[in-house]
Structure 1
């Protein structure tokens, strides 16, 4: 952090605060001395000129403190050791002689004493008093240095926090942009799959199925287009979308698969990322049903589990592949992986397992509940 300039307002505020502190010290010194004097001079009284003298003498120290504060703040980047030494020399060898001369003039003025020259004032100042005020001047320097160091440390922490917050905001914006880009890829991909299903039905020359499939494709595309623009959607909507997708595939594959859905949770207030389930079901058709003329069993089980970290949705998709086509993946699954990493960073798990007859995919994500505010 480089040295900082001091605004006129800050300069005035610093001087006023210093002045207030030194006036308190001045009058405390005056009253303490007065009470001590009463022990051996009972008739001693305080006068206005006592207050004026002490106030005027000590008020000059506010100038020193203001000067030290400004110098430290402005030239702190030069190095604290060199700056501390330079200001220590200025305080003891320049400021203190000037203060003693000023104090002598003020004292002579208020108490109507003969004026003395500067050399006489310095020569007559007791060495013990010089030592005491030297310690006081160095204490002012230490106090101002500590104050500046504290302010700079606090400002550094604030700047670091602001930078970290800015980085986090930039990372969040970048993640959101990447998520939007990934989700924008879903609609064209899904459209291609739907057109492939329609194309397969066209070759069967079954007009009824073809008309039904076109209607379902329209419904599916409307949801996919709308949902891909949202950060979260209701799980109920996702389940309805999956059922419509399975219905479309039933027109194409007829009796070649059995789909079973089991829910062990209340789905009324669950939120998930859009098009979470459909790619998983699509994968079973792509790598299971499409590769065999035998009947494939597809199961989707959604349950809720509780742990010390909170509630999680446990999603399990399993399918048989009689032809031994155990490959999984594809662009939709890769897209889903990327979206899960953004939406649930370090909070989700996804795994696959199985044998030569069954392929199982398990996905676990944190529960996000929809909260309605009336």
Structure 2
């Protein structure tokens, strides 16, 4: 029971929060082919809708992070679940034109900010220090699992019954998150225990906060890496379709590659705990290696593209469990606000990336767009290595003490 309360319940709650926030854009990406036909849209229009989602998230994330630090993650997360669920229902029942789709996705971006920042703080406040990497690994499986589920929803529901039923299914999937939030909301109303730092956090008062340029470099690196994440979510299925794969088969292939990415994120979180959350070098290596898989998507062959998709999703979506525990340890006094600042980079890359990708597709084709995306992944790795150099001499100089690890193993 102690294991359930200290690790699994908060980790699953964090997973559910991020899942609900990510559902609108995940479904939009795999429904791109149907939406282009139904709403008379182009790849650029799809990119703009995704950009609206990430742009509002970029603006809202630092504000939401500060609110969560001050007032607790539970009410912030509950508001995010309610907003995201409502938007999914409106996408199913009301949206019928490009402007309304853009507006709905812009509001959904605020829902993501509420869900994602509260999910980060859930782990920081509720999960034992020595298991936060694994908790982030579990939480960060949400995007590939939701992507996999979205692909199955398209193949099993949208193709035979229409795209609106896919969004309605997404609204129903928001309900489990509301159930998981209920006990934390009750606890928040009764006392202020939800939101206080954990008692088992090591005393790191002798450590100094890194210079501001380090977090700026991290945000820049995350921004470049997020171009790949957004492009993979939005344009993998259309790329496979353009290479000769059927729409249903392409969605199923995307779901299968996403399943492989889930294993990668869990493994990354486990390794991050073992290494002690002290360096960004491993994160830079993962992102740099993902560029190879991204470039394989440029090859106009279904088999090669499928292999590239599996590599790109596993590595390109695998780095957050390695990065965020490091950020949380170096900037431990303002966890949600700092991760909110990093989210500016995430959202900037994820909003500009799809537009850039769509423009390149319209002028040069999918192959050129994937090559450009792979180059940005290499740039992301370089930014993170520069950030690590700026962080040298600050923050944690050694891994989490082994006595603390032993207590929770």
Give the TM-score taking structure 2 as reference length. 0.22
Q: Which has the higher contact order (CA 8 A, sep 6+)?
A: 2
Larger % of helix: which? 2
Give the alignment's TM-score, normalised by structure 1: 0.23
Bigger Rg, which one: 1
